[in-house]
Amino acid sequence: GNSVTQMEGPVTLSEEAFLTINCTYTATGYPSLFWYVQYPGEGLQLLLKATKADDKGSNKGFEATYRKETTSFHLEKGSVQVSDSAVYFCALLVIQGAQKLVFGQGTRLTINP
């Protein structure tokens, strides 16, 4: 089956620290991979995505590279800001048949000034 496993939170960092949130997946077929972000009181927003192996998604200083050999899609940012505090969800979509996103459990990130 298809599943996503994320680094357990919560994660607390100081401003300007380096961020990594690990994500690994299991999938049948060839999934697209996503990171969504949920700010307090809001719905999920797409942060970045990658559709095939070795693709790098990037947005707002965040990056993630689709690694087929390690079935991973780790999220990184070189220097976090207080405004990055949110819950981050890794997700996969297998583009065959049903159009279903499978989400990880989410990682809560808190950035202290």
Partner 1 sequence: DAGVIQSPRHEVTEMGQEVTLRCKPISGHNSLFWYRQTMMRGLELLIYFNNNVPIDDSGMPEDRFSAKMPNASFSTLKIQPSEPRDSAVYFCASSPPRRLAGGGTDTQYFGPGTRLTVL
**Residue 25 or 89 with smaller CB distance to partner 1:** 89
Q: Which amino acid is at 31?
A: P
SS3 state of residue 84? helix
Query: Closer CB to partner 1, residue 13 or residue 102?
Result: 102
Determine the Cα–Cα distance for residues 102 and 113; give it in Å rounded to an integer.
Answer: 33
12: tokens are 């607390």
C-beta of 72: minimal distance to partner 1 in Å? 18
Q: Min. distance of Cβ 100 from partner 1 in angstroms?
A: 6
Q: What's the min distance (Å) between Cβ of 81 and partner 1?
A: 23
Q: Which residues bind partner 1 (CB under 8 A)?
A: 32, 34, 36, 41-46, 49, 51, 89, 93, 95, 98-101, 103-106
